[in-house]
Structure 1
Amino acid sequence: MAVNEVLGNDDYSEVCLNPEFNKLLLKLKPHLTEDGTSITVQRDLRDVEERFRQEKGTWLQQHVLLSNLKDLLLESQMRGSKIATPSSSAQFYETVQNMLTHAEIGDYIHCDPETGGERTLFGLSNDDLRLKKPFEQHSKSIQQRLIPELESRLRKRCEALVGFYDSVTDAESAKLTFARTSELPTNLEQDLQKLKLDEREIKKEQSIQETQYSEYYQNLLRSLSLLESLVKNRRLKSQVESDEVSTLWLTTRCDALCLKIKIFELQILCDTYHEGTVQALRKIRGEIDRAIHSTEYDLKQVDQTLAAYEAVGSGFDNLVQEYTRLKDEIDNKKWALRELKQHSLEETSNE
């Protein structure tokens, strides 16, 4: 395989700029796989995976046999609990149970919590268990009866699995059900591979859909932004024209209201201040003017008196008290004078 086929045209054009790197890739090519893994490592990995698959298959076979044997013993115990007198079958299954228990003891005698410890349960060892086999003489006879029963159970379960996987419709196909059990692992493996391929395709489709969704979403946002800007510009232009018309209308209405208020004010003045009222107000103004002149004359006299007291000094209490009284009187007269002047100005403006 050429370097450009491995890297692609774009990457290969960049590699061509460095010939030494190109030579290095060509030297590494016989020692690496297409995904960059060492060929030796990949071969060792395949060997390990194959050994692991074999060991796993062996363990699964033993596990299936043990599970079926335990189920068989459990069913026999349930049947035996309903029968008062134990039969030969019950005794047979009891013997099988004891043999199974004796075989499982070896998994529990090593109870030392330390790694590599030699302490065992009751000091027993695997050699002790192998020497003491109370059911050794019955093993052959038990196997002759037990193995067919286990095979029958496994056969029924295999037929049930095949029936579940591929339902049988006619009697001729039912006879071949057990024969098809040997094809069941291959069929399941093919289905599993197909499911994985479908899963990858689904993930690929999901990735494409997510990318398309993101693109559609961005396009939608841009479209909304453009639409919003167009609406704002159009609305602003229309708003300016509407504001101008509204402003002109409000200005005209305000002017009209101001004229109405002025007319109403003049009408109230005309109704309030007729000829007789004006003459009376003029007389009142004359009286107020005379009172203003009199108050101003009194204020001038008080100021002169106050100035005389201030010139005397602060040694006399009576003079001080008189000074205080006169000053209060001056303040009162000033207030009265202001009130009279303000009232006179109001009367003048009304005329």
Structure 2
Amino acid sequence: MTAEPGSIGGLVLGNEDRVYQQVLASFPLCDMTEEDLRQNPQFCKLLTCLAHHVDKTGLTTSLKTELETFVLFFFHQSEQKLLSQRRIWLQSESLHRALQEMIQEHRVRKHHAAVPPDENMFYETMEKCLLVAKCARKLDPSNTTKKDQPSILGLTPQDVMELMPSENNIQKMKQMLPGVLEKHLKKKCFSLLSYYQPEWENESESLKRCKLSHLSAQLDEDKKKVEALKESSREKKVLLQRQTQLYLSEMTKCVQLLQSFILDNRLTIQADLDKKKLDYFEGKCELVMQKIKAEMVAIKLETYTTDSISTHKEIRKNLESELRACQAEKQSVESKLSSFEILGKEFEALAEEYGKLREEIEVKKWALKEFTNYNS
């Protein structure tokens, strides 16, 4: 069978791209491309027809329904089995913990007060039985442990079971255990009831039993309320986060708008503001300079009094007279030096020799003085 011109397997050419995409989307597990579908129009038509009867995994509608039913049934059975196993484990674990609590409370009572021998024997027998059973379970090579795991200290469960109390004590313990356990559990339930509703603590025992029978349903109801409140809290938290983000975005826009407004206004009044600042700083600078001048004048007035000025004038007069004397002496020395320079190099040699002789005379005078001081 051949396709008519202008169509592909009964499909209009104008819609072929959309049809190819639908076919590829309907069969994602098939390794095909649009080019393959263009080259095989009849195969494309076949896939289009199959798309109404199978899903994306290749299963038919009826087979998928049966498979889903089987999976749901298997899941339901597994869930029921798991719940049963969990219930059994919780019962045994709760019983074991209750027995451990009873033993711990007995130890506390024995520490604070005297305990009857029968009660002491009961708890010691029960504690020993629990300990031996725990050790035997640890040594038991069951399916829960490794087959090739070496035994601890070479012991076997039979070796540990030999440490069990006497059969007579075990029988007595078993006879007393239901009553003691019931009493302990009743006390624990009443404590839980008093903790949950403190106003029920002073009620009668029969009323407490009645209310205790409805406690589980009430706890489930309260648990559902708590879960609903948690869900509501989560929704409100998400809503608060969204509102916070929206608020922050709006605040950011407002800040940007305010910044642009401030910038525009600053540019218009900046020149006038700068001029006023300049005038202010100029006036302040002038004021500071005037204060400095006033302080300098005050310092001069405090330093140079009438007496100090006359004294300075007298000192200046003496210094000027000494300066004139020094200048006259300088002129006379310079004239003598000029007259000595006229005599030439021979006079210079004589002057040097004369200087050396003066130095030797000074040295000998000093030595003679030291020698005279030493002799005296």
1:189 aligned residue (193, 217, 220): 220
Question: 1:126-175, CA deviations, whole angstroms, 9 ceiling, x for partnerless residues?
Answer: 46767986544554442221210110110111111122223444866652
Secondary structure of the equivalent of 2:139? coil
> What letter matches 1:64 in structure 2?
S
1:210 aligned residue (221, 235, 241): 241
1:286 paired residue number: none
Secondary structure of the equivalent of 1:115? coil
The CA distance in 2 between the partners of 1:174 and 1:30, in whole Å, is 60
Question: 1:311-337, CA deviations, whole angstroms, 9 ceiling, x for partnerless residues?
Answer: xxxxxxxxxxxxxxxxxxxxxxxxxxx
1:282 paired residue number: none
CA contact (8 A) 1:31 1:38 kept: yes
Is 1:108 paired with 2:108?
no
> What letter matches 2:151 in structure 1?
T
1:148 paired residue number: 179
Q: Shift of the alpha carbon at 1:62?
A: 2.0
Q: 1:158 to 1:236 in 2, by over 3 A?
A: same
2:102 aligned residue (72, 77, 93): 72
CA contact (8 A) 1:159 1:177 kept: yes
1:308 paired residue number: none
1:55 aligned residue (85, 96, 102): 85
Secondary structure of the equivalent of 1:117? coil
Q: 1:216 to 1:39 in 2, by over 3 A?
A: farther
Q: 1:246 to 1:87 in 2, by over 3 A?
A: closer
- Give TM-score, length-normalised by structure 2: 0.48
Secondary structure of the equivalent of 1:97? helix
Q: Shift of the alpha carbon at 1:28?
A: 6.4
1:89 paired residue number: 119
Q: 1:38 to 1:77 in 2, by over 3 A?
A: same
1:175 aligned residue (192, 202, 206): 206
1:120 paired residue number: 151
1:201 aligned residue (224, 232, 235): 232
1:221 paired residue number: 252
Q: 1:122 to 1:49 in 2, by over 3 A?
A: same
Q: 1:74 to 1:195 in 2, by over 3 A?
A: closer
Give the number of aligned pairs: 228
Q: Greater shift after overlay, 69-78 or 39-48?
A: 39-48
Q: Map residues 149-164 of structure 1 onto 2, 5 A cutoff.
A: 149-164=180-195
| Ranges in structure 1 where 5+ consecutive residues have no aligned partner | 1-13, 254-351
Percent identity for Structure 1 against Structure 2: 21
Q: CA RMSD in A?
A: 4.4
| Ranges in structure 2 where 5+ consecutive residues have no aligned partner | 1-17, 27-50, 283-376
The CA distance in 2 between the partners of 1:221 and 1:127, in whole Å, is 78
Q: Map residues 233-312 of structure 1 onto 2, 5 A cutoff.
A: 233-239=264-270, 242=272, 246=275
